[in-house]
Structure 1
Amino acid sequence: MTLQLLLARAGDGQPVVETPLPAESLRGAPLPAPLPKPTHLYNMSAEPDSLREQRWALVVPDTERGRRLEGILSPLCERRAEEQGRTVEVFRAPTGMDAARAQAFVDEVMYPTSRSSREHARYVLLAGTLEELSLELQEELTGDGSCFVGRLPFEREEDHAAYVAKVLARERDAARPRKARALFLTAQDMSLPVRSGHRFVTSPVARRCSEARARGFFPASGVLMEELPAGSKGRLLELAGAPEPGLLFTLSHGVGARPSGWASAEEQRREQGNMWLGDRTVLTAEEVRQGAFLPGGIWFYFACFGAGTPARSVYQPWMEQLVRSGLMPPWELEGVERSRPLEARPFIAALPQAALANPEGPLAVIGHLDQAWICAFHDPRTGQTHANRLEEVLASLVEGYRAGLALHALSRFASKADRELRKHYQEDAVAGSSGQSPAPQVEERAYLWMERHDVTNYTLLGDPAVRLVDRPSR
């Protein structure tokens, strides 16, 4: 079993971690912090896709800008109020909350036990940057898998307005289609991580979806899979520019720092997480901000930092340990560290922000809020693919389920991996207390550790209540 990272250096596109890491590199990796436990209740017995049963709420920062965002988003709140048959709750959250304060805010303000669970919103839209509404708040809401969370991350207020106008126009269009096309694209630069990603992720997922469509279980208007030759930006823009709503799944390297590092925080925020297409070609925010780019669609963007960059990577302590033990060359760790946010300020990537703000762009983007690895969807120990995990998310989207509910499927696998991983650590503790040697389960534990961290960092950007297509009446 080896671990491969989808991160390329800006400029030359060389993989930051060139040699796949062995499973043994995860021996002694730190036990993850527990996933947040559900301390509040929702209407779990009701239809999860129904806002009338599950409700929708907005969270804005408790600042002057937050008040302005509340006003800008009021037309969307009115639309969701129509759907759920009651006024939308708006919560004003303190900025920069740590984990403890985030838990207190969620438990005491958003979901107090003094109210019935039927009054608690499962669909939650966070409107603000990671500095305004902290990642800890987002993790508290999503960690137990009960809440369907999306984020509008725009730094420009006019982008919030453009997004709202786009969503409302789509949802009120009487001629809204009931089917969407499904596109599966690998930006092939011939590096080992991308070749492996196409073989073990993109290709199996596309094949499963195509076979499901033939059996009537994946109601897309068509399924297309392509390996984009290096540098073929034109082909990507051509496919994404078609007027029919599309579900776009792409796998590529995400752009990280060049060997000399980023010149400024502004440059990093503009370029990090952009889509590397090979042959020194990059898909940038400027190129998806205007003109048709997946109009009314949903984009699953599989790449390092595709959704954004946290203040500190969850993988950082492990990688530092690898260097100390000689399993990773120090220059590879330095290459990864150059992509840490300057001034320790976390941020959402510019590329999905621009796509969402585009009036002819997608309604939602699913991406990774950290480094992205391919092993969460492929078990190299057995050769077994876990493409079914992605298929479940994508099938829900083409069936017309809300985006937040569709992404929720991944949280189940994260919780399962977390439980299994904790059993291993508990077995070690029991063996140690009795003077026995722990059972050697290096590869299984390594796989669970990576799977648990990787899956939990997929993030929905956009309103979690949007749909790719209308659901047929049942």
Structure 2
Amino acid sequence: MTLQLLLAQAGDGLPVIEAPLPTESLLGAPLPAPLPKPTHLYNMSAEPDSLREQRWALVVPDTERGRRLESILSPLCERRTEEQGRKVDVYRARPEMDAVAAREFVDEVMYPTSQSSREHARYVLLAGTPEDLSMELQEELTGDGSCFVGRLPFEREEDYAAYVAKVMDRERDAARPRKARALFLTAQDMSTQVRSGHEFVTGPAALRCSEARGRGHFPASRVLTEELPPGAKGRLLELAGAPEPGLLFTLSHGVGGPLSGWASKEEQQREQGNMWLGDRTELTAEDVRQGAFLPGGMWFYFACFGAGTPARSVYQPWMEQLVQSGMMHRRQLESLERSRPLGERPFIAALPQAALANPEGPLAVIGHLDLAWLCAFHDPRTGQTHANRLEDVLTSLVEGYRAGLALQSLSRFAAKADRELRKQYQADAVPGASGRPQTPNVAERAYLWMERHDVMNYTLLGDPAVRLVDRPSR
């Protein structure tokens, strides 16, 4: 088993880690912090896709900007009020909450035990950048997997208005579409990582969905699979520009720091996480800000930093251990560190922001908030694909389920991996029949460790209550 990373160096596009890391590199990986246990009350027995039973809430920063955002988003709040039959709750959160403050806010303000589960919203929209509403607050809400969370992360206030108008137009259209096409695209750049990604992830996921469609279980109007040749930006924009609503799955390298480092914070936030297309070509925010790009659709963007960049990667302590042990060259770690945010503050990638703000763009983007690896969807120990995990998410979307509910299906795999991983770490301390600690299964532990971290970092940008296609009310 080897570990392959989907991160390309800005400028020349060279993979940041060219040779895949070996399984043994994860043997000494630190035990992750426990996933949050569900402590909030929800109406768990009710239909999860129904806002009448599950509720929708808005969180804005408790600032002057937050009050402006609340006003801009009021038409969307009114729309959700109509759907759920009662006024939505709007919460005002202090910026820069740490983990402790975020837990207190969620427990005491949003979900107090003095309220019935019927009063608690499972669908939550965060409005603001990471500077407006901290990533710790988002992690607290998403951690146990029972809350359906999305974020609108725009810097510009006019982008919030554009997004709201797009959602309102789509949802109030009497001729809302009932079927969408499904596009599976791999941006080939001649690297081993992307070739493996198409063979083990994109291809199997597309095949499963296509076969399910033939049996009547994947109700897309059509399924298209294509490997884009290096530099084929025009073809990508052509496919994404069709007027029919589309579900777009792309796999590529994400753009990371250049060899010389980012010249400024502004340059990094403009380019990091862009879709690398090979041949010194990338899909940028300017490419998707105007004109038809997946109008009314949804985009699953599989690449490093596709959704954004954390202040510190969850993989950093492990990689520092690898350098100390000699299993990883320091220059590789330095290449990764060139992608750390200047100023040590997390940020949301410009590419999905621009797509969401485009009036002719998608309603939601699913992407990664850290380094993205292949092994969460492919088990190299057995050669078995885990494309079923993607199939679950994508099928829910083409069936018209709400975006937040569709993404939530991934969280159960992270929880399962976390439980199994903890059992293995606990077994290390238990003597076997010989009286010595049991020898760990290196490959299994490596896979579980990577799976747990990788799956946990997928996030939804956009309103978690939006739908790709119309679905009868329940």
Category of TM-score, reference length = shorter chain? over 0.9
Letter in 1 for 2:320: E
Aligned residue in 1 for 2:123: 123
Cross-structure match for 1:324: 324
- 8 Å contact from structure 2 (residues 428, 440) kept in 1: no
- Counterparts of 2:179 and 2:329, CA distance in 1: 49
Give 1:5's aligned amino acid: L
Preserved contact between residue 430 and residue 437 of structure 2 (Cα < 8 Å): no
SS of equivalent residue, structure 1 residue 431: coil
Distance (whole Å) between structure 2 residues aligned to residue 315 and residue 435 of structure 1: 33
**Could you tell me how far 1:132 is from its partner in structure 2?**
1.6
Describe the superposition over 1:164-213 as per-residue Cα deviations: whole angstroms up to 9, x where unpaired.
00000000001111000000000000101100000000000000000000
Q: CA deviation at 1:440?
A: 2.5
Deviation of 1:143 after TM superposition, in Å, equals: 0.9
CA 1:473 to 1:404, structure 2 compared with 1: closer, same or farther past 3 Å? closer
- Corresponding residue for residue 365 of structure 2: 365
Aligned-partner Cα distance in 2 for 1:185–1:420: 33
Any idea what the Cα deviations from partners look like across 1:18-67, whole Å, max 9, x if unmatched?
Answer: 11001100011011111111111100000000000000000001111011
Q: Which residue of 1 aligns with 2:471?
A: 471
Amino-acid identity (%): 85
> Which whole-Å CA distance do the structure 2 matches of 1:253 and 1:424 have between them?
32
* Stretches of structure 2 lacking an aligned partner (at least 5 in a row): none
Amino acid at match of 2:324: R
Residues 180 and 244 in structure 1, CA contact (< 8 A), matched pair in contact too:
yes
Q: Match for residue 192 of structure 1? A: 192
**Counterpart amino acid of residue 423 in structure 2:** K
| Per-residue Cα deviation, 1:343-376 (whole angstroms, up to 9, x for no partner) | 1011000000000000000000000000000100
For 1:413 and 1:253, how far apart are their aligned partners in 2? 24
The letter for the 2-side match of 1:179 is K
Q: How many Å separate the matches in 1 of 2:431 and 2:332?
A: 35
How big is the shift at 1:435? Answer: 5.5
Aligned to 1:341: 341
Judge conservation of contact 1:178–1:472 (CA < 8 Å) in 2: no
1:436 alignment partner in structure 2: 436
8 Å CA contact 1:240, 1:293 repeated in 2: yes
Q: Map 1:383-402 to 2 at 5 A.
A: 383-402=383-402
Distance of 1:379 and 1:358 partners within structure 2: 37
Matched residues in 2 for 1:164 and 1:171: separation? Answer: 11
- Letter of the structure 2 residue corresponding to residue 28 of structure 1: G
SS in 2 for 1:270: helix
> In the alignment, is the contact (CA less than 8 A) between 1:5 and 1:373 conserved in 2?
yes
Structure 1: how far apart are the matches of 2:301 and 2:40?
32
Cα deviation per residue 1:100-123 (whole Å; 9 max; x = unaligned)?
111111001000000000110000
Q: How many aligned positions are there?
A: 474
The alignment status of 1:375 with 2:364, answered yes or no, reads no
Q: Which residue of 1 aligns with 2:315?
A: 315
- Map of 1:78 onto structure 2: 78
Amino acid of the residue matched to residue 457 of structure 2?
A: N
Q: Which amino acid aligns with 2:322?
A: L
Secondary structure at the residue paired with 1:43?
A: coil
Residues 1:146 and 2:139 are matched in the alignment: no
Q: Which amino acid is 1:464 matched to? A: P
Q: Match for residue 293 of structure 1?
A: 293
Deviation at 1:473, TM superposition (A): 6.5
Structure 2 partner of 1:451? 451
How far apart are residue 134 of structure 1 and its match? Answer: 1.1
The whole-number CA distance in structure 2 between the counterparts of 1:285 and 1:21 is 32
> What amino acid is aligned across from residue 245 of structure 1 in structure 2?
P
* Structure 1 Cα separation of the partners of residues 431 and 6 of structure 2: 37
1:35 aligned partner:
35
Residue 430 of structure 1, CA deviation? 2.3
Query: Structure 1 stretch 169-178 or stretch 423-432: which is displaced more?
Result: 423-432
Q: Distance in 1 between matches of 2:114 and 2:333?
A: 49
SS at match of 2:158: helix
Distance 2:102 2:430 in 1: 34
- 1:248 maps to 248
Matching residue's letter, 1:414 = A
How far off is 1:431 after superposition?
A: 3.2
Letter in 2 for 1:167: V
1:428 Cα shift?
Answer: 1.0
Which amino acid letter does the alignment assign opposite residue 177 of structure 2? Answer: P
Structure 1: which amino acid aligns with 2:332? E
Structure-2 separation of matches of 1:160 and 1:430: 54
Alignment of 1:118-267 (within 5 A): 118-267=118-267
AA in 1 matched with 2:330? P
Normalised by the length of structure 1, the TM-score is 0.99
Q: Which amino acid aligns with 2:164?
A: V
Letter paired with 2:224: L
Root mean square deviation of aligned Cα:
1.2
Q: Secondary structure at the match of 1:70?
A: helix
Q: Which amino acid aligns with 1:404?
A: G
* Deviant stretches of 4+, over 4 Å: none
- Cα separation, 2, equivalents of 1:91 and 1:252: 37
3-state SS of paired residue (1:430): coil
* Equivalent position of 1:53 in the other structure: 53
Query: Deviations for 1:290-312, whole angstroms, at most 9, x for unmatched residues?
Result: 00000000000000000000000
Taking the aligned partners of 2:173 and 2:21, their CA distance within structure 1 comes to: 50
| TM-score normalised over the length of structure 2 | 0.99
TM-fit CA distance, 1:436: 1.4
1:426 aligns with 2:426: yes
Q: Is the 2:429–2:437 Cα contact (8 Å) retained in structure 1? A: no
Structure 1 pair 297–205 and aligned structure 2 pair: CA distance change class (3 A): same
Q: Provide the residue aligned with 1:102 in structure 2.
A: 102
Matched residue of 1:343: which SS? coil
Distance in 1, matches of 2:119 and 2:385, equals 40
CA drift of 1:472 comes to 4.5
Judge conservation of contact 1:197–1:251 (CA < 8 Å) in 2.
Answer: yes
